[in-house]
């Protein structure tokens, strides 16, 4: 019997997350989160693979920018398409196709004979990454009992960071190998195949099934993921919400009721990127190099950054349902601002200071990463999957995700140019200013969603009683 008592919080929620009775929902969350691993691996591997691919295929920094950029552009398109397929053909089959595309495109990148073919393969790969980036948290949040939803959905972020860490380690381990970049890129096919196979065996989400009128199947799934006493209530809530909605037209996203929600999610999407997280993830080795480390040492330090990144995502799983989304978001964003100010200060000093205190720079980056991983990292993906009304959840998440990838593209693409234009310190000060703006916005506009069913959240937004509240009355 799954332990999903609505009142479970704090330590009991943590225990529940690892409890035997939650094994089924835990297992399907792990399978779905392979999508997060793909996302992370491809995000991390290109920074290392690029160095060797550039030599082997004879391209320069412009080519390097395009191997990164092609994936990001593919991710924007993939997110757009998946917004439609996740509603029309299900979260499950969208993720299955994403895994297949990923496997094929990873092999395509590995065997690419020219820069153009490499960029084309990376664009197609981006399609799968863009899909996985939001359909994975969406799938998990729709399967999880509310008391576990934060932790289980945050698990997707753990897998993203694990993918990044494995990519850094692979880059480090394959340093001296001939055609190493082909192996680095080709390895991505393994998790792609694992995801595709895994998605065949997991069930559809009950919310999607209800939306398609397959109520009996939805009940069957809820019986396996929720405790028996909560199944009927949960199903009633899902049905209530599903029945009260009209067809999901794209323009409904801009209706007066949805617009404020969409604006908050889009803001989370944009802020997640404009505080500069991917400058560290994509250019970690370069930034560490700015601090005075030699190339070999920088690659090693980057692995430590990857470990911190991953470790704090793990800590977030434990904290998410205990502390709540909002406090983590506020504290973590403030931490990111401190890390950025410290980095700005470090780069403002002359190179003599920097070379004498490289540990200062590295510690600032680590602090910044840790703060991101307990806040904006997981909270953005979690909150976009928690808050949109069921009928338009796919499209609304896709829109927020497209903003996220678009700003990811701009921030990463222009990072090196910015460091030349306004200086390394100026670049990090600028991100810090964005961080202060983010903090003020979150304080005023982002509500707590911990321990509430997706339908309760939705009912509150519409100013109605939820099914559960009515039942209790």
Residue 374 CA: distances (Å) to CA of 378, 439, 447: 7, 15, 17
The interface with ligand BGC within residues 407-446 (CB under 6 A) comprises: 408
Count the residues in the chain. 473
| Binding residue (CB under 6 A) for ligand BGC from 125, 266, 281, 316 | 281
Q: Which range of residues in 117-125, 143-151, 153-161, 436-444 is near ligand BGC by CB under 6 A?
A: 153-161
Q: Which range of residues in 95-103, 146-154, 174-182, 277-285 is near ligand BGC by CB under 6 A?
A: 277-285
> Residue 50 interacts with ligand BGC (CB under 6 A)?
no
The interface with ligand BGC within residues 375-414 (CB under 6 A) comprises: 377, 381, 408
Size of the site for ligand BGC (CB under 6 A): 13
Shortest Cβ 443–ligand BGC spacing (Å): 21
The interface with ligand BGC within residues 9-48 (CB under 6 A) comprises: 43
**365-368 long-range contacts, Cβ below 8 Å, gap at least 24?**
365/280, 365/284, 365/287, 365/288, 365/305, 365/339, 366/304, 366/305, 366/308, 367/335, 367/338, 367/339, 367/342, 368/280, 368/335, 368/336, 368/339, 368/340, 368/343
Minimum CB distance to ligand BGC smaller for 401 or for 451: 401
C-alpha 449/C-alpha 49 separation (Å) is 40
Shortest Cβ 278–ligand BGC spacing (Å): 5
Residue nearest to ligand BGC (CB): 377
Shortest Cβ 137–ligand BGC spacing (Å): 10
Shortest Cβ 412–ligand BGC spacing (Å): 9
Binding pattern for the stretch 109-148 against ligand BGC, x by CB under 6 A and - elsewhere: ----------------------------------------
Count of other CB atoms within 10 angstroms of residue 354 = 18
Strand stretches in 159-269, DSSP E: none
| Binding residue (CB under 6 A) for ligand BGC from 22, 109, 157, 230 | 157
Q: Which range of residues in 10-18, 157-165, 412-420, 438-446 is near ligand BGC by CB under 6 A?
A: 157-165
Q: Both tokens of residue 35?
A: 């999508």
C-alpha 45/C-alpha 164 separation (Å) is 7
C-alpha 272/C-alpha 400 separation (Å) is 11
| Binding residue (CB under 6 A) for ligand BGC from 50, 109, 161, 385 | 161
Minimum CB distance to ligand BGC smaller for 267 or for 466: 267
Shortest Cβ 309–ligand BGC spacing (Å): 6
| Binding residue (CB under 6 A) for ligand BGC from 124, 160, 266, 392 | 160
C-alpha 92/C-alpha 86 separation (Å) is 8
Shortest Cβ 318–ligand BGC spacing (Å): 17
Nearest to 39 by CA among 124, 174, 162: 162
The position carrying tokens 């997110």 is 79
Axis crossing angle, helix 295-323 with helix 146-173, rounded to the nearest 10:
170
Minimum CB distance to ligand BGC smaller for 95 or for 182: 95
What does the DSSP 8-state code read for residue 388? S
- 404: which residues sit within 8 A by CB, 6+ positions away? 133, 269, 270, 272, 273, 380
| Binding residue (CB under 6 A) for ligand BGC from 47, 147, 205, 309 | 309
C-alpha 242/C-alpha 261 separation (Å) is 18
The site for ligand BGC (CB under 6 A) is made up of 43, 157, 160-161, 164, 272, 277-278, 281, 309, 377, 381, 408
């Amino acid at each position: 019997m799954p332990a999903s008592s609505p009142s479970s919080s704090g330590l009991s929620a943590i225990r529940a997350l690892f409890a035997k009775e939650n094994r089924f929902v835990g297992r399907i969350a792990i399978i779905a989160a392979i999508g997060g691993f793909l996302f992370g691996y491809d995000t991390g591997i290109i920074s290392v693979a690029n160095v060797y691919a550039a030599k082997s295929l004879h391209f320069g920094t412009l080519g390097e920018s395009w191997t990164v950029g092609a994936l990001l552009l593919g991710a924007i398109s993939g997110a757009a398409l998946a917004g439609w397929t996740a509603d029309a053909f299900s979260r499950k089959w969208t993720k299955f196709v994403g895994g297949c595309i990923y496997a094929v495109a990873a092999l395509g990148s590995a065997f690419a004979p020219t820069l153009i073919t490499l960029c084309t393969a990376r664009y197609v790969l981006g399609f799968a990454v863009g899909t996985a980036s939001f359909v994975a948290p969406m799938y998990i949040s729709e399967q999880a009992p509310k008391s576990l939803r934060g932790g289980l959905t945050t698990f997707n972020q753990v897998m993203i960071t694990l993918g990044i860490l494995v990519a850094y380690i692979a880059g480090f381990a394959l340093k001296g190998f001939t055609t190493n970049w082909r192996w680095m890129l080709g390895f991505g096919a393994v998790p792609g195949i694992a995801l595709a196979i895994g998605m065949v065996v997991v069930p559809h989400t009950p919310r999607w099934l209800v939306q398609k009128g397959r109520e009996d199947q939805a009940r069957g799934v809820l019986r396996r993921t929720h405790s028996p006493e909560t199944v009927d209530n949960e199903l009633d809530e899902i049905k209530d919400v599903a029945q009260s909605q009209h067809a999901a037209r794209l323009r409904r996203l801009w209706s007066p009721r949805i617009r404020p929600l969409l604006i908050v999610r889009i803001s989370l999407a944009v802020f997640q990127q404009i505080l500069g997280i991917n400058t560290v993830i994509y250019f970690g080795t370069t930034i560490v190099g700015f601090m005075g480390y030699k190339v070999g040492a920088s690659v090693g330090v980057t692995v430590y950054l990857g470990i911190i990144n991953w470790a704090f995502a793990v800590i977030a799983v434990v904290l998410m349902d205990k502390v709540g989304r909002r406090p983590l978001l506020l504290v973590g964003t403030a931490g990111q601002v401190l890390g950025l100010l410290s980095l700005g200060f470090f780069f403002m000093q002359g190179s003599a200071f920097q070379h004498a205190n490289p540990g200062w720079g590295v510690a600032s980056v680590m602090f910044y990463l840790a703060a991101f991983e307990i806040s904006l990292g997981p909270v953005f993906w979690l909150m976009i999957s928690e808050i949109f009304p069921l009928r338009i959840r796919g499209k609304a998440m896709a829109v927020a995700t497209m903003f996220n990838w678009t700003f990811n593209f701009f921030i990463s693409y222009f990072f090196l140019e910015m460091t030349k234009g306004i200086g390394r310190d100026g670049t990090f000060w600028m991100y810090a200013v964005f961080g202060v703006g983010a903090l003020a916005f979150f304080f005023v506009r982002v509500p707590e969603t911990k321990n509430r069913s997706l339908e309760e959240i939705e009912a509150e937004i519409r100013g109605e009683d939820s099914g559960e509240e009515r039942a209790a009355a």
